[in-house]
Structures are given as C-alpha cells and as structure tokens.
C-alpha cells in the first residue's frame, strides 16, 4: 500500500498522543518521527530539535524526536522498530552504523513507512534501503576538502581527535583529511572518548609525544571544546593549525579569537528542517526532489561569523 493511500485509509484513526522531546500540533494528521544516534549529553543536536520544531509548526504536522540516551546504537535500532510500530507517515533517521541499523530501517520501508536518511549514512546506502533520499554532508568528501585546504596552508602532519570511534562516518572525516593532505592516517587518529577531561589529557599527551604535529582536526564540539582547553594549556593557541567539524558556542569563540582556523558547517538545521518539509509535501501533493541534498560542507572563518555567532547552537 502506498503512503498516500495508507494516509487516506488511516487518517481518521490518527489520534494526538504525548510525545518525547520536541513535538508540534498537527492540523492535517501527518506524524513524523526523527530518530538520531546522539546521546542526551550532546548539545549539538539542539539545532536538529529546533529544525524539526520549526518545520512542524510551519507545515502543521506532528514531529517527534527520539534518541538513545547514552548513544547506544543497538538501543537506537530498537527505537526505530518502536517508531515503525507506532504507524507514522514517515521516519527521518540517521544511519550511524549500517550493519546495526539497516535491518530496522529496511523493515520500516517494507512496512510502507516513507524514510529519509539524514546526517549520517550516504546517498548510496539510502537508495539501497529504499529510502526516499539522503539529506546531509558527505563525510569523506568534507574531510578531503578540509585536508586540501590545510595542505594549501602548509600542513603536513596532524592529529585527528575522534570522540566516537565506533561510528564509521566519523572515521571517514579523518581519512578524508589525511587523503586531502596526501599522508597516511595511521596513528594520527586518536580514540579520545567523550569525557571532556579524558579528551583534554589525551590530546595533551599526544602533542607532548609528537611535538612536530602541524595541525589538529576535531570532529565536533564534544572533542573540540576540551581540545581548545588543551591547546591553550599547552601554549599553542594561535600557533598550531586547528580545524574542526561543526559549530557551537565554544568553537565560535575559538574561531573569533584565532585559536581555531575554521569550522566546517554541515548545517544541521537544514538536515532536520528539510526532511519534514519534503515528506509533508510528498504526502500532500506527491512532489519529491529528484536528487539527494548535500547540506555541507561550508567553511566558517573569522570573516563570516556575524550570523553564525548570533545563531550558534540554535540554528547554526
């Protein structure tokens, strides 16, 4: 049964219910669930929540945000299964681990739920699972572009601080950066963990053991914020080349001060906002963009901070 026919058949059966985290009221009856891999502690995802909230309000649909509190991918798989069982018109989900999540996502598609993959995964994986499309940043390509930029600035060696090494997509950022530089990744990728004190201490230890390191690449605020502190403590702020993925309050401050050279903005607001709009218009009017949507990468430097600084952590 197609999603449009299913909507007509079950429209009278949809009843508003309490939702977790972010929800908006629906006048049309559509219900969408966004499932992410993010733990509750990762504030970067507040922008995602703001994106679906605004889209839900503007489109007049219900939107629910669900995530595994600790970031456990197996727990996320169960959440996708639960979301599918609740009978939504669509599911928007990250694909942080294809091996673990492809089964539940495929099952949702097979049951007639329209799915859009966002943030992590790839267009090829989305197509393989039967999802409508992919909205996000091609991670390897973003890392490669960053590596080429750093190479042009004279960087020949680096440390990549990976705070969630079990997620393949983050490793792609490190590998892309190494390939863009034209060097081996090898031991340059540091398994830092997510505890801020541990991240800081591991970065300090690496820099002490490898004093010729030209640059540091962090993969988001979880690793960037404590690395900023490590660089400052080591007396290297403004001296060592420092790039990061994603934005946040501390990252913006560090770009402004010259500690960080640039941040890669994958525009998470669009990753959340656009799928809600696309699904709603698809179900109401049968229209669908013909291509996947790359939301990034875009490089943010000190010269372009006005709007970023104003909306960092909210819409940027």
259 contacts 242 by C-beta, under 8 angstroms: yes
- 38, exposed or middle or buried, with CB in 10 Å at 0-12, 13-18, 19+? buried
pLDDT confidence of residue 80:
98
124-155 confidence digits (pLDDT tens): 999 999 999 999 999 999 999 999 999 999 99
CA distances from 46 to 107, 122, 247, 248 (A): 28, 22, 12, 10
Residue 20 has pLDDT above 80, yes or no: no
Domains 3-137+267-296 and 139-265 share a fold: yes
Cα-based angle 178, 179, 183 (whole degrees, multiple of 5): 60
Fold for 139-265, please state it.
Answer: Rossmann fold (3.40.50)
Superfamily in which the 3-137+267-296 domain is placed by CATH: Response regulator (3.40.50.2300)
Please give the residue that has the higher pLDDT: either 297 or 154: 154
- Please provide the average confidence, as pLDDT, over all residues in the chain: 90
Cα–Cα distances (Å) from 141 to 136, 147, 182, in that order, read 12, 10, 14
Interval 38-90: pLDDT, tens: 999 888 899 999 999 999 999 999 999 999 999 999 999 999 999 999 999 99
Beta bridge partners of 31: 62
Q: Is the pLDDT score of 25 beyond 60?
A: no
**What is the rounded distance in angstroms from the CA atom of residue 258 to the CA atom of residue 239?**
9
Confidence of residue 295 (pLDDT cuts 50, 70, 90): very high
Tokens describing residue 196: 């801020």
The answer to whether the bond into 166 is cis (omega within 30° of 0) is no
Query: CA-CA distance, 268 to 247, in Å (whole number)?
Result: 10
Per-residue pLDDT at 258 exceeds 70: yes
Q: Domain coordinates of the chain in residue numbers? A: 3-137+267-296, 139-265
- Give the per-residue pLDDT at 207: 98
| Residue 13 neighbours by CB under 8 Å, 6+ apart | none
pLDDT at 250 over 90: yes
- Predicted confidence (pLDDT) per residue in 157-190, tens digit: 999 999 988 888 899 999 999 999 999 999 999 9
Q: How confident is the model at residue 28 (pLDDT cuts 50, 70, 90)?
A: low
pLDDT of residue 240: 98
């Amino acid at each position: 049964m197609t999603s449009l026919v299913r909507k007509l058949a079950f429209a009278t059966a949809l009843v508003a219910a309490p939702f977790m985290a972010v929800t908006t009221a629906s006048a049309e009856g559509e219900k969408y669930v966004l499932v992410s891999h993010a733990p509750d502690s990762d504030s970067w995802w507040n922008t995602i929540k703001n994106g679906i909230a605004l889209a839900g309000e503007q489109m007049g649909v219900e939107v629910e945000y669900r995530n595994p509190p600790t970031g456990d991918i197996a727990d996320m798989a169960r959440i996708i299964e639960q979301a599918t069982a609740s009978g939504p018109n669509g599911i928007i989900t990250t694909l942080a681990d294809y091996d673990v999540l492809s089964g539940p996502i495929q099952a949702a598609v097979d049951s007639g739920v329209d799915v859009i993959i966002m943030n992590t995964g790839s267009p090829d994986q989305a197509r393989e699972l039967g999802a409508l499309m992919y909205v996000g940043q091609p991670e390897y390509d973003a890392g490669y572009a960053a590596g080429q930029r750093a190479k042009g600035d004279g960087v020949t060696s680096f440390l990549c601080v990976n705070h969630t090494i079990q997620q393949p997509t983050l490793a792609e950022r490190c590998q892309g950066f190494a390939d863009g530089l034209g060097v081996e990744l090898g031991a340059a990728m540091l398994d830092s963990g997510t505890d801020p004190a541990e991240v800081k201490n591991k970065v300090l230890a690496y820099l002490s053991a490898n004093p010729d390191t030209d640059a540091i690449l962090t993969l988001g605020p979880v690793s960037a914020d404590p690395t900023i502190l490590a660089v400052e403590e080591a007396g290297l702020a403004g001296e060592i080349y420092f790039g990061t993925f994603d934005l946040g309050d501390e990252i913006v401050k560090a770009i402004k001060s010259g500690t960080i050279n640039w941040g890669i903005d994958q525009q998470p607001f669009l990753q959340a906002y656009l799928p809600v709009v696309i699904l709603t218009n698809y179900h109401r009017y049968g229209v669908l963009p013909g291509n996947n949507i790359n939301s990034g990468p875009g490089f943010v430097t000190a010269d372009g901070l006005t709007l970023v600084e104003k909306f960092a952590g909210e819409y940027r």
